[in-house]
């Protein structure tokens, strides 16, 4: 472990060169964020502000972090999952773009235990942030539960994922949220792209890296047909799998049916599935009784934010033995003699066993993150007193971000003529 107090704690600084190349690769595929970096590095809107983040340390996150820094922010960072940090990227961030030590404050390494996970978050809170950037609300929750005195210096925050937004809305409803937070997750250019196409592709990537099984012809069970689940189901279907969906919401189940998926309760799906992916944000979706009824060789993983979707405590009770059969893949032999395989310890399989979402999709998610922090600081400087609640980003921003994305893809769209604009609001025009 390489540790310099007040600057970094990462696994191995000698990996920095490899990490730098990964970051450069991501930069070349994140044109929207790079365009914003170019624009705002001139005006330095974050000068004098400290942005503290708790989000998967991947090459794409590194592009966001270095963009915030280029726009004037002092940045401190930790990972938001013990198994998602890319150690080479963390090393490159610590040493900075020129490898001379002018990096950001970063505390993150792959495979940390729970105590180390919170130690890292706490070191970033020590910097007394101006704004916080979360993925899962662990940083915000830590400020509120352990360092509430720091909250008075915090202008606001942003939240990247569905589970985090749910947690924050619950805190706000209870009157417990101490500062305003933008729900970046809920922006159309985030939720409808990152969660769907990002999770769709990267979850299959994680499953394949950890198992290398053939997807065609397999019974592929997806629990939850929301944004992430739909993306995973779509991609698995495209690879020739027979997709089965389990849901608790009638409309979501109906959408899955009309999209050509089979729908059934988990109790039934457990008996026929070859591969299981949870994408619900809910706990105990695959429980002991489900593991027991699974076929020999079933593969089980999770792509929701927390590992609680699979009841691994129950599986450990049922299992008579377990061994790591290959990287990110543990074989459990149950007391009924059958074996099941759990990928990535039930953590987000796309980040723990693969590299997370492709850069192209994180480009838009992180453009929204940058805009959220710009909005917080601009509104603060304008003297606005924002309520301590969960805020939505303006819809116009989605059109702006999507517009830049299309432009960088070399695609153009139509615009309405004056007559068409008038027609849109003319209620007298009928057949
Ligand atoms: N893997 C990743 O990189 C990644 C990316 C984005 C979001 N996420 C996480 O994925 C999870 C889902 O996010 P989303 O945006 O798809 O949420 P969503 O609200 O769009 O969808 C969740 C779906 O799960 C269903 N559901 C809830 N409990 C269920 C149960 N017990 N059985 C079956 N279905 C159930 C809900 O009815 C809903 O349709 C969250 O934890 C989110 O934070 C992960």
Judgement on whether residues 176 and 260 belong to the same structural domain of the protein: no
pLDDT tens-digit profile of 359-402? 999 999 999 999 999 999 999 999 999 999 999 999 999 999 99
Q: List the structure tokens of 291.
A: 């593991």
**Can you give the residue range of the structural domain that contains 21?**
2-192+357-408
- State how far the Cα of 394 lies from the Cα of 43, in Å rounded to an integer: 22
Do the domain assignments include residue 420?
Answer: no
Strands 219-223 and 105-107: unpaired
Nearest CA to ligand 1 atom 36: 224
Judgement on whether residues 65 and 178 belong to the same structural domain of the protein: yes
Judgement on whether residues 107 and 148 belong to the same structural domain of the protein: yes
- State how far the Cα of 113 lies from the Cα of 109, in Å rounded to an integer: 10
Helix residue ranges per DSSP H, 59-198:
59-70, 87-95, 114-125, 138-146, 162-173, 188-191
Judgement on whether residues 86 and 40 belong to the same structural domain of the protein: yes
Domain end call among 320, 352, 384: 352
Query: For residue 226, how far is its CA from the centre of ligand 1 (angstroms)?
Result: 6
Q: What is the pLDDT of residue 244?
A: 99
Judgement on whether residues 167 and 203 belong to the same structural domain of the protein: no
- CATH label of the domain that carries residue 305: 3.40.50.720
Judgement on whether residues 61 and 180 belong to the same structural domain of the protein: yes
Are 344 and 353 spatial neighbours (Cβ–Cβ below 8 Å)? yes
- State how far the Cα of 138 lies from the Cα of 54, in Å rounded to an integer: 8
Nearest atom of ligand 1 to the alpha carbon of 285: 31
Listed residue (274, 339, 354, 277) closest to 310, CA to CA: 277
Query: For residue 258, how far is its CA from the centre of ligand 1 (angstroms)?
Result: 19
Angle between helices 16-27 and 359-381 (to 10 degrees): 80
Judgement on whether residues 165 and 221 belong to the same structural domain of the protein: no
Judgement on whether residues 29 and 162 belong to the same structural domain of the protein: yes
Do the domain assignments include residue 139?
Answer: yes
Do the domain assignments include residue 418?
Answer: no
Q: What is the pLDDT of residue 40?
A: 98
- CATH label of the domain that carries residue 50: 3.40.50.1480
Do the domain assignments include residue 272?
Answer: yes
Rg over CA atoms, the chain: 22
Do the domain assignments include residue 166?
Answer: yes
Whose tokens are 């019974």? That residue is 219
- State how far the Cα of 162 lies from the Cα of 164, in Å rounded to an integer: 5
Do the domain assignments include residue 25?
Answer: yes
Q: List the structure tokens of 23.
A: 């970051």
Q: Which residues of the chain have pLDDT under 50?
A: none
Q: What is the pLDDT of residue 25?
A: 98
Judgement on whether residues 23 and 146 belong to the same structural domain of the protein: yes
Do the domain assignments include residue 383?
Answer: yes
What DSSP character marks residue 303? Answer: -
Judgement on whether residues 346 and 373 belong to the same structural domain of the protein: no
- State how far the Cα of 392 lies from the Cα of 196, in Å rounded to an integer: 20
Listed residue (284, 299, 293) closest to 318, CA to CA: 293
Judgement on whether residues 152 and 211 belong to the same structural domain of the protein: no
Nearest CA to ligand 1 atom 10: 304
Do the domain assignments include residue 429?
Answer: no
- State how far the Cα of 59 lies from the Cα of 71, in Å rounded to an integer: 19
Work out how many domains the chain is built from and give that number. Answer: 2
Q: List the structure tokens of 18.
A: 């490899």
DSSP letters, 174-243, are: TT---S-EEEGGGSHHHHTTIIIIIHHHHHHHHHHHHH----TT-EEEEE--SHHHHHHHHHHHHTT-EE
Report the phi/psi class of residue 330: left, alpha or beta, with left for phi > 0 and alpha for psi in -120 to 50: beta
Residue in 136, 162, 357 to alter for ligand 1 test, most ligand atoms within 8 A of Cβ: 162
């Amino acid at each position: 472990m390489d540790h310099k107090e007040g600057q970094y704690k990462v696994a191995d600084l000698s990996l920095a060169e490899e990490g730098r190349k990964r970051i450069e690769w991501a930069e070349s595929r994140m044109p929207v964020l790079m365009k914003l970096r170019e624009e705002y590095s001139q005006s330095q809107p974050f000068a004098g502000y400290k942005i503290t983040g708790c989000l998967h340390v991947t090459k794409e996150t590194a592009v966001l972090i270095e963009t915030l820094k280029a726009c004037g922010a002092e940045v401190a960072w930790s990972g938001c999952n013990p198994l998602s940090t890319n150690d080479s990227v963390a090393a490159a961030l610590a040493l900075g773009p020129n490898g001379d030590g002018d990096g950001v404050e970063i505390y993150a390494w792959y495979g940390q235990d729970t105590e180390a996970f919170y130690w890292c978050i706490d070191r970033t809170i020590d910097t007394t942030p101006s704004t916080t950037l979360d993925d899962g609300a662990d940083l915000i929750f830590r400020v509120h539960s352990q360092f509430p005195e720091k909250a008075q210096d915090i202008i606001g925050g942003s939240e990247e994922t569905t589970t985090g937004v749910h947690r924050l809305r619950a805190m706000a409803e209870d009157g417990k949220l101490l500062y305003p937070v933008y729900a970046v997750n809920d922006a159309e250019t985030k939720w409808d792209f990152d969660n769907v196409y990002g999770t769709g592709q990267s979850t299959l990537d994680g499953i394949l890296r950890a198992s290398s099984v053939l997807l065609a012809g397999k019974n592929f069970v997806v629990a939850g047909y929301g944004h992430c689940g739909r993306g995973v189901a779509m991609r698995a279907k495209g690879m020739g799998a027979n997709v089965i969906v389990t849901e608790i919401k009638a409309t979501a189940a109906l959408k899955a049916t009309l999209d050509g998926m089979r729908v059934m309760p988990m109790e039934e799906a457990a008996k026929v599935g070859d591969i299981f992916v949870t994408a619900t944000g809910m706990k105990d979706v695959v429980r002991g009784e489900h593991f027991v009824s699974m076929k020999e060789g079933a593969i089980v993983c999770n792509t929701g934010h927390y590992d609680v979707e699979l009841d691994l405590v129950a599986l450990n009770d049922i299992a008579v033995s377990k061994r790591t059969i290959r990287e990110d893949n543990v074989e459990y032999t149950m007391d009924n003699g059958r074996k099941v395989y759990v990928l990535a310890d039930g953590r987000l399989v796309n980040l723990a066993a693969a590299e997370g979402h492709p850069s192209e999709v994180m480009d838009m998610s992180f453009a929204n993150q940058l805009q959220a922090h710009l909005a917080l600081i601009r509104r603060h400087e304008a003297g606005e007193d924002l309520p301590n609640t969960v805020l939505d980003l303006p819809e116009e921003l989605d059109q702006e971000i999507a517009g830049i994305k299309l432009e960088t893809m070399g695609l153009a769209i139509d615009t309405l003529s004056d007559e068409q604009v008038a027609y849109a609001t003319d209620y007298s025009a009928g057949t």
